[in-house]
Structure 1
Amino acid sequence: MPQRWVTVASKVGLHARPAAVLAKAAAAQSVNITICKDGCPPVEAGSILGLMTLGASHGDEVVLAAEGEGADAALDRIVELISTDLDEE
């Protein structure tokens, strides 16, 4: 199962606007993507509520995982979003 580690770049973490942008992008992928922080159980990356309950703040490292055809490309796209300050867009 492909995984990616990425540091949250948004100043407010994965809350509010960044969570909405990320959830929309994750839900649009052809594979199911999960995200976790600090060894906690993974949540669906396509769920705004799941992302907000994750409690990922600016500078936190999160782990993304996906399985299936297209998983690597999907993870790369989501890594790109998380490593961007989505508050600046």
Structure 2
Amino acid sequence: MSPFNQAEPTQNDLMAKLPPPATVQITAEQILREARELQLLHNEFVEGARAIYEQSVQCQPNQIQAWIRYAKFETSNGEVARAREVYERAVE
């Protein structure tokens, strides 16, 4: 029998080929817990990066690009007051 003579697949045929629906459901509490964990990881990352930037500007206070990168980092994290403080320290 040639492929041209085969009947079109029915909707049931197509449905049978689909993977089964997910059997695991995530609760709102699980989503919130994971969001809190991600926020903690983000905060740890930010604090670690901040410590590295601090070390960089203390070791090389005349490297203006280090100060600028540090201030931009603070701004990108929504810490405008910290960014201003970094710029002010750079000017001193």
Q: Same fold (TM over 0.5)?
A: no
Greater Rg over alpha carbons, structure: 2
Structure with a larger share of its residues in helix = 2
TM-score by length of 1: 0.30
Greater RCO, 1 or 2 (C-alpha within 8 Å, sep 6+): 1
Structure with a larger share of its residues in strand = 1
